[in-house]
Amino acid sequence: MESFWGILADAMSLILAWDADLIEIIGLSLRVTVTAVAIACAIGLPVGAAVGSFAFPGRTAAAVILNSLMGLPPVVVGLIVYLMLSAAGPLGPLGLLYTPTAMIIAQTVLVTPIVAALTRQVVEDLHREYAEQFSSLQVGPLDRVLALLWDARYSLLTVALAGFGRAVAEVGAVIIVGGNINHVTRMMTTTIALETSKGNLQLALALGVVLLAMALVVNAGVMALRASAVRAAYV
Amino acid sequence: MTRACICFAIAALMAMGPFGGAAARDEFILVQSTTSTRNSGLFEHVLPLFTAKTGIEVRVVAVGTGQAIRNAANGDGDVLLVHAKDAEEQFVAEGNGEARFDVMYNDFVIVGPPSDPAGVAGMRDAVAALLRIAEAAALFASRGDDSGTHRAEMALWRETGVDVEAASGGWYRETGSGMGTTLNIGTGMGAYVMTDRATWIAFGNKRDYRVAVEGDPRLFNQYGIVLVNPERHPHVKAGPARRFVEWVLSEEGQQAIASFRVDGQQLFFPNAGS
């Protein structure tokens, strides 16, 4: 076994030699994950905010369920989505199995509870501060949720990034529902799993470095967006 | 400013959306197959020739034979190309497939560490070699995943009379993983591993491992192809899928398989119609 740095150097030269396919794979990974996170936010933000700000019977139970669903095993999600989308399953006629859409569905199922649970926590803390004001101003329920989500928006960006981190690094679900088909459903993580199984450990590690760099770029981009928004808010 | 940023971000997301890219593709079929055929690079060599000739794209899902058969039985695939003859014939008998044809063969080998703790290097008799490994209680890493290779391995163990399930967790280690992963684990812990020769030759993490046992007729590894039954599974793309099966079995398809080489070695030997 070579030294870690030796492998890393090999890895970099492999990346440089592997252009077109690699770009396709990175593009698909981003497309699937970003779409899944966007859908998960569209569902998870309002759900989390509702649980975090409304008093209703079973609210604690709802919070516990959301928190536990954060630990959904990707393989189980993959299996469930496979059984739904399989030709023998209820959604079989849609023909979505082994397509990028199937991978988006699986990742959305995986990420939505994370977004919802973390949003609930953020919104609940903020709601404690705002509750008195809301009731004295007689703010309606929808306006409350919107106001809380808006005022917590910077914290919620981090929530979205947590969801992104989970989705982009996940392999168990997408390999089952996507099938890791070359040029169709091959993503960063499934390629890493494939190259590892071929014994091409250097290349697999190189791809891991690429995946990390990709996550870094996305996170830096979001943080830069946030910084400029914060600055704009105080002008 | 903030709103403009958010609007821009949302627009960017929409542009990247799921339904833009992959829609406009030509006709394609889905093949459920095994990791050994994919990992060796056979498909990258053979499939473009078929696609160039017919315009039909072939998408391959490569999993263990057991899982491939189950997926195909669910109707998730047009063609099955695996290596467990009994299971394939059962698949056809149950009405899930039309007919089964021999496609090609290679052989299994048992690879081991250079220290050869069970002293089996150079043996031809696979059953005797496994018996010796069991007697020496030398580490042996098994697929344990109901794949074609796992089935072949279990058939050999049955001949030895050794109860490997009783030894599981001791010297007998079931990885429950694909061939490549099992090889990674096996070479990592110094265990013997039974693998198909194609995966072994194309494998990139051999370390100092070498083939210890080979040449036993019982290590024969036959691949078969089955068209998923369109009467049972009406959405099967029977036309293009049948064309693919016929092409693989044709002189041209068989030539394509024979001409695939890794490091100058032929990995699969066509034997359709024999």
Give the domain CATH number at A122: 1.10.3720.10
**Same domain, residue pair B145 and B192:** yes
Distance, in Å, from the CA atom of A146 to the CA atom of B11, rounded to the nearest integer, reads 21
Name chain A contacts of B182, Cβ cutoff 8 Å: none
Containing structural domain, residue A14: 4-233
Query: What pLDDT digit, counting tens, does each position of B14-41 carry?
Result: 444 444 444 334 589 999 999 889 989 9
**Same domain, residue pair B186 and B227:** no
Name chain A contacts of B71, Cβ cutoff 8 Å: 86
* Average pLDDT estimate for A122-142: 93
Classified as helix, coil or strand, B111 is strand
User: Does A35 contact B at CB distance below 8 Å?
Assistant: yes
pLDDT of residue A8: 73
State the CB neighbour count (10 A cutoff) for residue A46: 16
Classified as helix, coil or strand, B69 is helix
**Same domain, residue pair B46 and B131:** no
Interchain CB distance below 8 Å, B13 and A233: no
Size of interface A-B (CB pairs under 8 A): 92
**Same domain, residue pair B186 and B225:** no
Interchain CB distance below 8 Å, B205 and A201: yes
DSSP element (H, E) containing B80: strand B79-82
Name chain B contacts of A100, Cβ cutoff 8 Å: 18, 21-22
Lowest mean pLDDT among A31-35, A89-93, A107-111: A89-93
**Same domain, residue pair B86 and B182:** no
pLDDT band per the 50, 70, 90 thresholds, residue A48? very high
Q: Which residues pair with B32 in a beta bridge?
A: B61, B80
pTM of the shown model: 0.85
Distance, in Å, from the CA atom of A56 to the CA atom of B51, rounded to the nearest integer, reads 60
pLDDT band per the 50, 70, 90 thresholds, residue A3? low
**Same domain, residue pair B140 and B150:** yes
Contact B79, B228 (CB under 8 A): yes
User: Does A229 contact B at CB distance below 8 Å?
Assistant: yes
Give the residue from chain B lying closest to A88, CA to CA: B74
Q: Which of A89, A184, A229 sits opposite B59 (nearest CB)?
A: A184
Give the residue from chain B lying closest to A225, CA to CA: B5
Number of domains in chain B: 2
Residues with Cβ within 8 Å of residue A127, at least 6 apart in sequence: A52, A53, A144, A148
- Whether B46 is in a domain gets the answer yes
pLDDT of residue B26: 59
Alpha carbon of residue A218 to chain centroid:
12
**Same domain, residue pair B195 and B244:** no
Alpha carbon of residue B192 to chain centroid:
20
User: Nearest CA to CA, how far is A137 from chain B (Å)?
Assistant: 26
State the CB neighbour count (10 A cutoff) for residue A233: 11
Query: What pLDDT digit, counting tens, does each position of B58-107 carry?
Result: 999 999 899 999 999 999 999 999 999 999 999 999 999 999 999 999 99
Number of domains in chain A: 1
Interior angle at CA A224, CA A222 and CA A227, nearest 5: 110
Query: What pLDDT digit, counting tens, does each position of A175-186 carry?
Result: 999 999 998 999
**Same domain, residue pair B186 and B226:** no
Interchain CB distance below 8 Å, B39 and A34: no
Containing structural domain, residue B38: 27-106+221-270
**Same domain, residue pair B225 and B102:** yes
pLDDT of residue A228: 87
**Same domain, residue pair B85 and B124:** no
- Whether B13 is in a domain gets the answer no
- Whether B12 is in a domain gets the answer no
**Same domain, residue pair B173 and B191:** yes
DSSP-assigned letters across all residues of A145-193: HHHHHHHTHHHHHHHHHHHHHHHHT--HHHHHHHTT-TTTT--HHHHHH
Give the residue from chain A lying closest to B18, CA to CA: A101
**Same domain, residue pair B100 and B226:** yes
Give the domain CATH number at B89: 3.40.190.10
User: Nearest CA to CA, how far is A50 from chain B (Å)?
Assistant: 22
DSSP-assigned letters across all residues of A24-92: HHHHHHHHHHHHHHHHHHHHHHHHHHHHHH---TTHHHHHHHHHHHTT--HHHHHHHHHHHHSTTSTTG
